[in-house]
Structure 1
Amino acid sequence: MNVREIRAHLRRELAGTGVDPADADLMAAEIATNAILHTASGRPGGRVWLTVIVSPERARIEITDQGGTPKEPQIPHSASLNGRGLLIVQELADRWGWTRDASGRTTVWFELPRTGETPP
């Protein structure tokens, strides 16, 4: 998936769930863009995967890259002029984090609360 496809799919998955789609869209776009810029996901034939899990209390959005970088996701210094995507995620998400599997693929995830009386 590319960033545009991730955003469109995420909006469809979150429709009617009571999760703020604007915040989710922004954070997913930042993470997917990082994956494309800094990992094998941005090379020809590269891929990015999106997982959306909605529970009665919250939604968890996971974006997985194709690996290929030894660098760990990190939040830049507040004075940095670029690379602020994870800083946005840190500020908007209830919780967030990342994992790396044995093949080197990194998954960055975040959680947002559900509001209202909408069913999962």
Structure 2
Amino acid sequence: MQVLQVQLEIRPDPAEVGRARRWARSRLAGSGIGADEPLAETLILLVSELVTNAVVHTGCPAVLRLSLPGGGEAATVRLEVADSSARPPVPRHAEGDETNGRGLELVDGLADRWGWMPEGAGKRIWCEVDRCAPGASPRAVYPAYEDFAYEAV
């Protein structure tokens, strides 16, 4: 399997979050992940959350990296954000109407795996999302949920 690795340098500016989302969308489309696939929206939300955390909480430049499987087959998409702040990520739990504190909870809920590691003087936060084979039934991929119905609101 061929894997395409691409990266984008991020300035410590909140406007960079939108640029990172646009950049990631174009890279996903170029790798065969269609904009209408649920995987694409999940990955864009993960990009948004991790880049926002890097920009807002570190005030340092960062690097966004995507590792994308080629050929549209079942595989894992990996997203990484590396920054020069040694401060580890701290998951928080937002209460009620609070507008901050949900980012890493979203990452934990949306990604199949995530974590972080020290890198040089800073750190790298990563997450992975498994891509289903084209035409695969969600029941085959998520058998524990075959009897559940859900709606995103």
Q: Quote the Cα distance in structure 2 between the aligned partners of 1:89 and 1:75.
A: 10
Equivalent of 1:75 in 91, 104, 127: 91
The answer to whether residue 36 in structure 2 is matched with residue 17 in structure 1 is no
Aligned-residue identity in percent: 33
Scaled by the length of structure 1, the TM-score of the pair is 0.78
The answer to whether residue 50 in structure 2 is matched with residue 36 in structure 1 is no
User: Over aligned residue pairs, what C-alpha RMSD do you find?
Assistant: 2.2
Q: Quote the Cα distance in structure 1 between the aligned partners of 2:56 and 2:113.
A: 24
Scaled by the length of structure 2, the TM-score of the pair is 0.63
| Contact kept in structure 1, 2:25 and 2:44, CA below 8 Å | yes
1:79 aligned counterpart, secondary structure: coil
Which consecutive residues of structure 2, in runs of 5 or more, have no partner in the other structure? 1-9, 11-15, 135-153
Structure 1 runs (4+) greater than 6 angstroms displaced:
none
Q: Quote the Cα distance in structure 2 between the aligned partners of 1:112 and 1:7.
A: 17
Question: Which residue is 1:26 aligned to?
Answer: 45
Pick the structure with greater CA Rg.
Answer: 2
Q: CA deviation at 1:10?
A: 1.1
Amino acid in the other structure paired with 2:82: T
